[in-house]
Amino acid sequence: MKKKVQFTETVLRDANQSLMATRLPYSDYADILSTMDKAGYYSVECWGGATFDSCLRYLGEDPWERLRNIRKNMPNTRLQMLLRGQNLLGYKHYHDDVVEKFVELSIKNGIDVIRIFDALNDFRNITTALEATKKYAKKNTVASGCISYTQSPVHTVSKYVEMCKELKNMGFDTICLKDMAGTMSPNEAEGLIKGIKDAIGNMPIILHTHCTTGMAYMTLMKAIDSGVDVIDTATSCFSNGTSQAATETMFYALQQYGIETGLNEDVINKVNDYFKPIKQKYIDSGLINPKSMATDSQALVYKVPGGMLSNMIANLKDLNAMDKFDAALAEIPSVRADLGYPPLVTPLSQMVGNQAVTNVLMGERYKQISKEIKNYFKGEYGIAPAPVSKELETKILGEGGKPTDCRIEDSKRTGEEFKAAKEALGELCRSEEDVMSYICFPDQAEKFFKDRLAKEENMATYTITEA
Ligand code: CO
């Protein structure tokens, strides 16, 4: 066993995202942040992923203000975000200058660790974000290169080792293996971590996995045995199911091996005590679905990540079609093969999931093809891990049609996206951060800015009436 293993606490981001569709408002956890600051985590994952979208779309929060507030209350802890490379936190490719600005502002507003991934592991799509991280780096800034882990005929250990060598050569500080579906077995973890450690030496390796299939604890222990440096866990009341393994439980187990974690036992228990009633509140309100808290070994067949599963349940419920749940799940592997085995991570997970649901609901495969899937075949997302279905490609691109290179479009450093967004917002825009929110989620951001203005006007009226 290794002498030292550190923890990244995910309750504010991934656990929140996996168990309750990212609907945890800042006000629910504001009071525990100063305590969490004393826990001794390697980092706290608190931003990025779906939190940004959720702030604007559902919670009426300014995501940037949320980050600044977390920063203020946790001055001693590395704050971590998840960034989808050239997609930032949205679902399309942005121009390089927009990506650079987003990274600059993330660091400026308080982010230390930027975990950067591309859904297809097309590393051309994470280069701009990496360069920007290096350019605007502060003392504690860490650029973490992240690999979307998946199993397929084309995803072998040697392929992953090659990817890690590439990330190291690109200049990343750490490497994260992101097993979003929780399908990495202990045996696979051992092979991978040993292989990677042999190939890249001292560079810190992080394992991110989910409990979805019930393997996470075994996989983490085996990974630790094989030399992993940092693990992602969630405070125990927000752990398990589609979330991460429990922080306190892993701490307890490692302590008996004499492995140093840097964690303060009292503090991590206090954190859990704090979140218990909050979890109960969302179980009572129905936001936390019991399905997401259970172990589901089906994921070993369907390779479906937690967030994707809960999204699909929500969509099917909206359409009154929960009876199609099993059929839609079964359709996912076929859609995935047609797309050249992309890892099922955002936005690919949504794209594959939605197309699978459409195929099943229409009673005919690809009778309707989503705009995103069409764009995928047009090459807008990057290069697929394996060849795509020729039949579907022809259906979308026409006879002899060829995909274009997304990176040529991204690298047009024209400032167009930024300028257009600023102009569209007009007086609603108060900062560069506002412009970024608008670029990522135009409709949601505009509504948020209008609501913000209306709220202030109401407050002004109220103050005058009071006087
Ligand atoms: Co995750």
- Looking at residue 464, what is its pLDDT? 63
| Structure token digits, residue 233 | 């866990």
CA of 306 to the centre of ligand 1 (A): 8
Give the environment of ion ligand 1: residues with CB less than 5 A. 14, 180
CA of 15 to the centre of ligand 1 (A): 8
| Structure token digits, residue 262 | 């840097």
At 231, give phi and psi (nearest 5°): -125, 150
**CA distances to 77, 138, 144, 183, 277 from 43, in Å:** 6, 16, 12, 24, 24
CA of 250 to the centre of ligand 1 (A): 17
pLDDT digits (tens, 9 = 90+) for 324-380: 998 998 899 899 999 999 988 778 888 999 999 999 999 999 999 999 999 999 998
CA of 14 to the centre of ligand 1 (A): 6
CA of 148 to the centre of ligand 1 (A): 10
pLDDT digits (tens, 9 = 90+) for 103-113: 999 999 999 99
> Residues with Cβ < 8 Å from 170, sequence gap 6 or more?
123, 126, 127, 130, 145
| Residues 9, 32: Cα–Cα separation, whole Å | 13
CA of 68 to the centre of ligand 1 (A): 23
| Residues 462, 316: Cα–Cα separation, whole Å | 43
- Looking at residue 330, what is its pLDDT? 87
CA of 110 to the centre of ligand 1 (A): 21
- Looking at residue 64, what is its pLDDT? 98
Query: Residue 72, exposed/middle/buried by CB under 10 A (0-12, 13-18, 19+)?
Result: exposed
- Looking at residue 203, what is its pLDDT? 96
CA of 190 to the centre of ligand 1 (A): 20
CA of 179 to the centre of ligand 1 (A): 7
CA of 344 to the centre of ligand 1 (A): 11
Write the DSSP string, 176-192.
EEEETTS---HHHHHHH
CA of 10 to the centre of ligand 1 (A): 9
> Residues with Cβ < 8 Å from 385, sequence gap 6 or more?
120, 121, 152, 154, 155, 340, 341, 342, 343
- Looking at residue 302, what is its pLDDT? 64
- Looking at residue 413, what is its pLDDT? 67
Please state the pTM of the whole predicted model: 0.90
Averaged pLDDT, groups of 10, the chain, 467 residues long:
90 96 97 98 97 96 98 98 92 88 98 96 96 98 96 92 97 96 95 96 96 96 97 98 97 97 98 98 94 83 70 88 91 94 86 94 95 93 92 94 80 81 92 96 95 88 62
| Residues 56, 270: Cα–Cα separation, whole Å | 30
Query: For the chain, how big is the Rg over CA atoms in Å?
Result: 22
